């Protein structure tokens, strides 16, 4: 447990300093190449859990301190340990004992007594401390106040459910490759492997308990892919047919790219500004046995990569706040700022205008985000329709969606879709 606590605390400290959790963990994996898969998984679990419940844990820690703790490494360690004591089955004596040892190697090395006292006081006063922490929105919902306020304004009936969903473990959903099989076959294979699951529709299967892909039958053979049910709706809504020329803008990591190609034989181009992330698209297509033209480029600047031929379909899966997938990336709740939403909206509008010029007459463009903020979604789509005379807004009909907006719930993450057709006249 010593190494797990120590490295999880280091990752959390990096996030509190403004680094993404993905980057923080990547740095640790490079520095500690001998970590076993189980150790990596345990470190990830501690980081994800602490960040999901950060507001509650931070509010609790503040009550236990006589004065603000300025040593960031010790603060991160204490938050990780409070998460262990409250939300895991780890033996309390073991958590405290290892934390004291980690503290002796952390920061100035003078925090052993403080860590021991704080954690033991928490164990003695746990219920009172947690109840007091939950009296504030920050402690109750574990989101920044601006985010809570924005959700309350945008979704007055659903905001509590949205915030609650963001603090849960995300579901693991599979997409069955219809070129290679069907839901019944995949369900049978999962049952044989001892994995409980249920079908959500004719291509999606949700596992009762998430597992690594190495335990999912047919994954490495390309029979199934991991993709949230909400994300699976993009390829369906785009309504592709064999022979169409299709653009997947901002395509990495390639889940929607693969799905489009599973639905029909297409002349598909996948573009992404990040060459490293584009390599993940290549890996996904290789696993599925599918092919596409992969281009590194800014989707908002097609003059740098476009060959001049119009597309029948464009998937504009634009950069966004990712607030609809916060439970998969809980660091977003603490790194995102309200000003970011305005900046994303400006970038999205410019990208929409640039990509619309690439749509052939009679063609369609699907605008997609994994956000729950109207400024990036309904407001953005309405503004585009208003300023674009040859864009016809088409209805988006999805179960549990409102005006194309899927909100996070136990079955899927938060996504937004708006579909436009270009007039032929």
* Residue 407: closest CA among 124, 115, 161, 41: 161
pLDDT digits (tens, 9 = 90+) for 254-266: 999 999 999 999 9
pTM exceeding the 0.85 threshold for the entire prediction: yes
pLDDT reading at 62 higher than 70: yes
* Distances from the Cα of 406 to the Cα of 42, 162, 418, angstroms: 31, 11, 12
Is the per-residue pLDDT at 172 higher than 80? yes
- List, for residues 152-170, the tens digit of each pLDDT value: 999 999 999 999 999 999 9
Residue 153 to residue 413: CA distance in whole angstroms: 20
Q: Which residues are catalytic?
A: 370
pLDDT-wise least confident of 63-72, 209-218, 341-350: 63-72
pLDDT on residue 399: 80
Reply yes or no on whether the pLDDT at 108 is more than 70: no
Model pLDDT, residue 117: 94
**Residues 5-11: what's their mean pLDDT?**
96
Neighbours of 124 (CB within 10 A): 9
> Which pLDDT tens digit goes with each residue over 339-357?
999 999 999 999 999 999 9
95: helix, strand or coil:
helix
Q: Is the peptide bond between 123 and the residue preceding it cis, with omega within 30 degrees of 0?
A: no
For the chain, domains (ranges, CATH) are 2-142 (1.10.940.10), 172-226 (3.30.70.1170), 230-422 (3.40.50.150)
What pLDDT is stored for residue 367 in this prediction? 98
pLDDT(111) > 90: no
The residue length of the chain stands at: 425
The residues, any chain, with a CB within 8 Å of residue 422's CB and separated by 6 or more, are: 356, 359, 360, 361, 362, 363, 364, 365, 390, 391, 392
Check residue 382 and give its pLDDT.
97
pLDDT interval class at 401 (50, 70, 90): confident
Alpha carbons 58 and 55: distance in angstroms, whole number: 5
Placement of tokens 């309405």 in the chain:
382
Q: How confident is the model at residue 425 (pLDDT cuts 50, 70, 90)?
A: low
pLDDT at 66 over 90: no
100 pLDDT higher than 80: yes
Q: Which pLDDT belongs to residue 397?
A: 87
Q: Is the pLDDT of residue 215 over 80?
A: yes
Q: Which tokens go with 57? A: 């844990």
**Distance of alpha carbon 178 from its chain centroid, rounded?**
25
Over 90: is that where the pLDDT of 99 sits? Answer: yes
Per-residue confidence band for 110, with pLDDT thresholds at 50, 70 and 90: low
- Contact assessment for residue 247 and residue 358, using Cβ atoms and an 8 Å cutoff: yes
pLDDT digits (tens, 9 = 90+) for 374-397: 999 999 999 999 999 999 999 998
Residue range 185-212: mean pLDDT, rounded: 96
Query: Is pLDDT above 80 for 1?
Result: no
Q: Can you list the alpha helix ranges (DSSP code H) found in 69-144?
A: 72-87, 92-103, 112-133, 137-141
Residue 402 has what pLDDT?
A: 81
- The reported pLDDT for the residue numbered 109 is 60
Mean pLDDT for the stretch of residues 303-317 = 96
């Amino acid at each position: 447990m010593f190494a797990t606590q120590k490295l999880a605390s280091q990752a959390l400290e990096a996030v509190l300093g403004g680094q993404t959790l993905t980057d923080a963990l990547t740095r640790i994996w490079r520095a500690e190449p001998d970590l076993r898969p189980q150790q990596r998984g345990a470190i990830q679990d501690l980081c994800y859990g602490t960040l999901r419940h950060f507001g509650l844990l931070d509010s609790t820690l503040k009550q236990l301190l006589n004065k603000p703790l300025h040593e960031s490494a010790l603060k991160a360690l204490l938050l990780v340990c409070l998460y262990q004591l409250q939300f895991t089955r780890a033996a309390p004596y073991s958590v405290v004992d290892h934390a004291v040892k980690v503290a002796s190697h952390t920061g100035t090395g003078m925090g052993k007594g403080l860590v021991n006292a704080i954690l033991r006081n928490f164990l003695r006063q746990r219920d009172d401390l947690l109840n007091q922490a939950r009296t504030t929105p920050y402690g109750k919902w574990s989101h920044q106040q601006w985010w809570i306020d924005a959700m309350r304004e945008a979704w007055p009936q659903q905001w509590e459910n949205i915030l609650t969903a963001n603090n849960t473990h995300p579901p693991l959903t599979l997409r069955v490759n219809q070129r290679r099989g069907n839901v019944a076959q995949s369900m049978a294979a999962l049952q044989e492997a001892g994995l409980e699951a249920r079908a959500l529709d004719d291509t999606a299967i949700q596992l009762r308990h998430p597992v690594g892909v190495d335990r999912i039958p047919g994954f490495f053979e390309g029979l199934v892919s991991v993709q949230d049910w909400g994300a699976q709706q993009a390829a369906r809504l785009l309504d592709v047919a064999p022979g169409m020329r299709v653009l997947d803008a901002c395509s990495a990591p390639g889940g929607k790219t693969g799905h489009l190609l599973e639905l029909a034989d297409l002349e598909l181009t996948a573009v992404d500004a990040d060459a490293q992330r584009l390599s993940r698209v290549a890996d996904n297509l290789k696993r599925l046995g599918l092919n596409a033209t992969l281009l590194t480029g800014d989707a908002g600047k097609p003059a740098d990569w476009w060959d001049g031929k119009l597309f029948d379909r464009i998937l504009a899966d634009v950069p966004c706040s990712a607030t609809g997938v916060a439970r998969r990336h809980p660091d977003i709740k603490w790194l995102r700022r309200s000003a970011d939403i305005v900046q994303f909206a400006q970038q999205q509008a410019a990208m929409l205008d640039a990509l619309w010029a690439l749509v052939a007459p009679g063609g369609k463009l699907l605008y997609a985000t994994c956000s729950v903020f109207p400024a990036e979604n309904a407001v953005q789509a309405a503004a585009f329709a208003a300023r674009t005379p040859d864009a016809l807004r088409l209805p988006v009909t999805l179960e549990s969606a409102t005006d194309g907006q899927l909100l996070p719930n136990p079955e899927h993450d938060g996504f937004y879709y708006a579909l436009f057709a270009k007039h032929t006249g």
